[in-house]
Amino acid sequence: MTVGVARASVSPDATAPDEASLGLYTSLRPDRTGAVPLNRTVARGKIYVTAAGEGVAAATFWLDDPARTALRIERQRPFDFAGGAADGSANAFDTTTVADGNHVIFAEITLTGGEKVNAWAAFTVSNQGGGPAPTPTTKPTPTPTPTAKPAPAPTTGAPEPPSGGGKCPLPAYPTPACTGVPAGTSLTTINGSYTASKAGEVVSGKRITGQLYIAAPDVEVKNSEIYGGIRYAGGSHTNTAHSFTITDSTLGKPSGCDQEYAVGHRDYTATRVLVRNFGDAFRNSGNNILVQDSYAKICAERGFHSDGVQGYGGGSNVVIRHNTIDQRNLVDGTSPIFFSDGSKGAKITDNLLAGGGYTARMYGNGYTFSGNLIVDEAWDYGPSDSDCGGVAWSNNKVVDIDGNYRVTATGRGLGCD
């Protein structure tokens, strides 16, 4: 089984990465002490990157594009991205050898039992202006929490902001580097689940190891990690569902694969959300949903039938705009876009979609599917299996992409099938 690991959860006071959870870590010292999770850090000069965690037997590394030849294979501890010296210290990764900006290190980690786990960490290189590298930390000064009431979920007929807004605008598509909890955000851990029970409550700067339950209207979630996803208090299909927004947040545990969905199921707005290690990302079983500028890497195990966006009895005023949904190389993966079971339609525009049995499935009437890019041959059976009479289909194309989700080749125009 292969699962995705964005980064592990670990105290910034850890003395060495091998004492931490499975993932990729960075230190400013060749002895690897003071290591913190690499994901969403800012790097300058020389850093020391290690794949670590209990039960690691080998690690294969790539920088930015896992489709290329691996940079290094390490078969004995410690598992350093740049290799190790004879004295046991780590070799440095000199970030001045790559361009300033966003990068991703990928690692295929082999565990002692033979299981392979895909790990990745997105980070930003910033060498312009020189000077020593900043000390990695997960405890900067917290950003003050705004007191303004969050914007309500979208309503029918409301004007839409320009497509491709946010931190990774068109022609780019969302990646782990421009979604999820912003680099440097201080997170306070809440062990177990938490219920937002006050109208207009702001949940910010939290790491919730269980589920977040919405029990009041106009809740705003931002700059937070929620391992168990978001539910309405009283059950996912309760009649007392309340509107909420979620922005710049990460949903999912650092490892494993949760069969349930990350967020649902009506009256919500999700912006720059990173979904990892969930079988379903965004659930639609009601009205007024906007998902935009977000990234989801879907997982699956046998029998999951996973989806990126699942409309199960979906309602009206549903907009899925400018997202990256990656569902490649899975067992029992259904579709990145899957609307069925009496769903009333949706507007699906300017998304980058990859994988699935069929990449797009829309059954019924009332759909707009426009300006979407579908990764060529990433599907099992075909790019689309839809009720074409109910879909306003236009300007969709087949493309090739690199490891950073950049379009490298645009192929044929794609009709509804």
Distance of CA 77 to CAs 26, 54, 59, 64, 81, Å? 16, 11, 9, 23, 12
pLDDT 10s digits, 137-169 = 443 333 333 333 333 334 333 333 333 445 788
Helix-strand-coil percent breakdown of the chain, rounded to 5?
A: 5, 45, 55
Instruction: With cut-offs at 50, 70 and 90, classify the pLDDT of residue 235.
Output: low
Which amino acid is located at 114 in the chain?
A: G
Q: Where are the domains of the chain?
A: 23-125, 188-413
This prediction's pTM: 0.65
Rounded Cα distance between 273 and 256, Å, is 19
pLDDT value at 353 more than 70: yes
| pLDDT of 212 | 96
pLDDT value at 331 more than 80: no
CA distance from start to end of the chain:
32
> What is the DSSP track for 132-193?
PPPPP-S--PPPPPP-SPPPPPP-TTPPPPPTT-SSS-TTS---GGGSSSPTT---EEE-S-
**What single DSSP character describes residue 48?**
E
pLDDT value at 222 more than 80: yes
Nearest to 204 by CA among 232, 225, 231: 225
More confident residue, 44 or 116: 44
pLDDT 10s digits, 78-90 = 899 999 888 889 9
In a 13 Å sphere around the CA of 134, the CA atoms on its Cβ side amount to 16
Nearest to 383 by CA among 372, 172, 348: 372
pLDDT value at 250 more than 50: yes
Q: What's the rounded mean pLDDT across residues 208-221?
A: 95
Rounded Cα distance between 377 and 374, Å, is 9
pLDDT value at 371 more than 90: yes
| pLDDT of 154 | 41
Averaged pLDDT score across all residues of the chain: 82
| pLDDT of 303 | 65
Instruction: With cut-offs at 50, 70 and 90, classify the pLDDT of residue 67.
Output: low
Q: Identify whether the C-beta of residue 180 lies closer than 8 Å to the C-beta of residue 248.
A: yes
CATH fold of 23-125: Immunoglobulin-like (2.60.40)
Q: Which two tokens stand for residue 308?
A: 């990126």
| pLDDT of 156 | 36
Q: Which two tokens stand for residue 396?
A: 């969709």
pLDDT value at 12 more than 70: no
| pLDDT of 193 | 95
| pLDDT of 103 | 85
Q: Kind and range of the H or E element at 333?
A: strand 333-340
Rounded Cα distance between 307 and 363, Å, is 15
Q: Of 56-65, 114-123, 181-190, 206-215, which one has max mean pLDDT?
A: 206-215
| pLDDT of 175 | 94
- Dihedral pair phi/psi, residue 59, rounded to 5°: -150, 135
| pLDDT of 259 | 85
Q: Identify whether the C-beta of residue 24 lies closer than 8 Å to the C-beta of residue 51.
A: yes
